[in-house]
Amino acid sequence: MNSSVRIAQDSIIPTIMCGGSGTRLWPLSRKSFPKQFVPLIQGKSLLQLTFERVSGLGSLQMVVASEEHRFLVQECAEAAGVDATLLLEPVARNTAAAMTAAALNAPLKALLLFLPADHHIPDSQAFAATIHQGIPAARNGCIVTFGVQPTFPSTAFGYIQQGEALSDLGAARQVRRFVEKPDDMLARELLLEGGYLWNAGIFLVQAEVLLSALRIHAPDILSACQQAVARQTTDGAFRRLDVQAFAACRSESIDYAVMEKAANAAVIPFTGAWSDVGSWNAVAELSQADAQGNRVRGEGHILDARNTYIHAPYRPVVALGTQDLLIVDTPDALLVADVAHAEQVKSVVAQLEAEGVPQAQHHRRVVRPWGAYDCVDAGPRFQVKRIVVKPGGSLSLQIHHHRAEHWIVVSGTAEVTNGEFVSLLTENQSTYIPVGQAHRLANPGKVPLEIIEVQSGSYLGEDDIVRLQDTYGRAN
C-alpha cells in the first residue's frame, strides 16, 4: 500500500482506466488523441463525463493513463472539478497490469471501482445505484463485475452468463462463464437462451482481494507491477511507474488473467442506457434520427438520403441520394464508409500507418499543457500555426537551431521573452525571434491568448526544440 494515499480504509476509489489506441473512431480519434478526450457529448469528452459520473462515489479518484496523455487527462479532471491522482504507464500493458498497479497504490481494504474512460452512461443516478448494489458482495470477498442487459445480438461485446443468486449478497449472482465476442449466430442464440449480459469491463473489488487473485492466477504480472510500484516516482499529481519493471510485465486483459479463472467472481446487471461508443454507428446513435434515419452533427446537409450520418463540425458537407453511409469530416482527413463496415475502421488506420500517412496517428491540432496549436499551412521552408495559450499558461524557454519565428498577436496579451528582453504585446502587435535566440511565450492575462506564428528555415520539425526551462517538467 502506498501510504501517501490518505483516505479511509473503507472508501470507494473510482479508478478510471484511460488507455486506448484511438483507432475505432478515426479520423476524429487518433493515437495522440483517443476517443475519451474527444468532445462528443454536448461539448464534453467521455473522460470528463466519466469523472462527473463517479464524483459522488468517492472523494478521491485515480486514473491509470499513458505518459503521453497525462496533460489531456489533467485538463479533463480540471474541467470536471476533480482532484485526481494520475498513475502513468510508460508503456501499454493491458487491463491486468493497469488494475494491479492501481491496487498496489491503494489501501488494502479500500474498494476499487475500475471502469473505462470512454463509455457513455447518461443516467448517473442509475449507475451509482447499481454500483452500490455490488458493495455487499465486494465486502464479502467477491470480484464484482457489472454486465449490461443486452438489447440486440451484438458481435462487438463479450458476454457474461449469470448463475445462481449469492445468498445474502443483494443483487449479486455467480458468474457461470464468460463468452468471447461471438459471431452473429451465437449472439442470437445467447439472447434467445437468456441469462446473458454484455461484458462492460467494470469491476468493484477490494484491493487485497484483487491482489490475492493475482497471486494465484497471474503471479508474474503481480511481481512485475510490485517492482514497478516500488520504484515509481511522484511528481505533483503524477505517479510514474518504473519503466524497466513495467515494460517487463506481460500484457493481458484482466478477463484472461483473472476473471475467467476466479471462483469468487460475481456479476450484477445494469439495465440503464449504456454505450461503449466503440464505432461510428454507436456515435451516430447518440444523435436523434429524422424520419429517413439520417443523423447530422455540425454543418451537414441531407438531400434525398436515407440512414446517413454526417459529422461535419468545420465546413458544409452535403450527402445527396446516399444510403447507409457514415461521413466523418475533419480538417485533415475524411472518412466515408458503409455502415456495415463501421467495425473495420481500425483496419484502415493500420493500413495508413503501414503506408506512413501521418494523419493515421496525429491531428493537425495538437494539445499541449499550456494550450494548443493548429498547423494552418505549410510548405518548403515555411509553416504557419495558430497558437492558443490558456490564461496563466507558459511555453518553455527554448531555442531553435534551424528556424526563425514571427509572432502576431490576434487577441489577448502576450508576455514575450526574446533573448534578454521581456515585453508585453497586445492585439495587432508582433515580434521576430531569430534563429538560435532563447525565447518564451506566456499568457499573463485572464482570457486566452491567440497568436499566429510563421516559421521559416531549413528544418521545421518539432524535434528542433531545446528546452532551457519548462514549467511542466518536459524534457527535450
Kind and range of the H or E run holding 132: helix 124-133
C-alpha span between 311 and 29 (Å, rounded): 13
What would the pLDDT profile of 107-164 be if each residue is shown by its tens digit? 999 999 999 999 999 999 999 999 999 999 999 999 999 999 999 999 989 999 999 9
Report pLDDT for 21.
80
Which residues, including other chains, have CB under 8 Å from residue 429's CB and lie 6 or more apart? 408, 409
302-339 pLDDT, tens digit each: 999 999 999 999 999 999 999 999 999 999 999 999 99
pLDDT digits (tens, 9 = 90+) for 236-268: 889 999 999 999 999 999 999 999 999 999 999
User: For residue 433, with 0-12 CB atoms within 10 Å meaning exposed, 13-18 middle and 19 or more buried, which class applies?
Assistant: buried
Grid coordinates of 18: 484511460
Residues 72 and 367 sit within 8 Å (Cβ to Cβ): yes
Residue whose grid cell is 463485475: 145
Q: Is the pLDDT of residue 5 over 70?
A: no
pLDDT tens readout for residues 388-439: 999 999 999 999 999 999 999 999 999 999 999 999 999 999 999 999 999 9
Q: What share of the chain is helix, strand, coil (3-state, %, to 5)?
A: 25, 35, 35
Whole-angstrom distance, CA of residue 310 vs CA of residue 326: 6
Burial class (CB in 10 A: 0-12, 13-18, 19+), 403: buried
pLDDT of residue 475: 64
Q: Interhelix angle for 207-217 vs 219-230, to 10°?
A: 130
pTM for the predicted model, two decimal places: 0.88
What residues does 90 pair with on adjacent strands? none
Report the SS3 class of residue 25.
Answer: coil
What was the pLDDT predicted at 366? 87
pLDDT at 7 over 60: no
Average pLDDT, the chain: 93
Taking alpha carbons only, the member of 58, 209, 212, 214 closest to residue 140 is 209
Tell me which residue of 252, 241, 243 sits closest to 219, measured CA to CA: 252
* pLDDT grade for 4, boundaries at 50, 70 and 90: very low
Helical residues (DSSP H) of 233-309, grouped into ranges = 243-247, 254, 280-284
Mean pLDDT of 172-199: 95
Residues 321 and 412: their CA atoms lie apart, in Å, by 46
- How large is the average pLDDT for residues 70-77? 91
Quote the radius of gyration of the chain (alpha carbons, Å). Answer: 24
Q: Is the pLDDT of residue 462 over 90?
A: no
Provide the pLDDT for residue 8.
45
Query: CA angle at residue 250 from 230 to 216, to 5 degrees?
Result: 75
Phi-psi sector, 321: left (phi>0), alpha (psi -120 to 50), beta? left
Q: For residues 150 and 269, what is the distance between their CA atoms, to the nearest angstrom?
A: 10
22: confidence class by pLDDT, cuts 50, 70, 90:
confident
Are the C-beta atoms of residues 192 and 186 closer than 8 Å to each other?
A: no
CB 96 within 8 A of CB 257: yes
- Does a cis peptide bond (omega within 30 degrees of 0) precede residue 27? yes
**Interval 224-235: pLDDT, tens:** 999 999 999 998
Instruction: Give residue 104's pLDDT band: very low, low, confident or very high (50, 70, 90).
Output: very high
Q: What is the DSSP letter of 258?
A: I
Cβ–Cβ under 8 Å, residues 63 and 87: yes
- Alpha carbon distance 451, 407 (integer Å): 6
pLDDT 10s digits, 355-387: 999 999 999 888 888 999 999 999 999 999 999
Condensed to tens digits (0 to 9), the pLDDT of residues 197-218 reads 999 999 999 999 999 999 999 9
Q: Check: CB of residue 314 under 8 Å from CB of residue 331.
A: yes
Q: How many residues does the chain have?
A: 476
The edge-to-edge listing of strands for the beta sheet with 403-411 is 365-368, 371-379, 382-389, 449-457, 403-411, 430-433
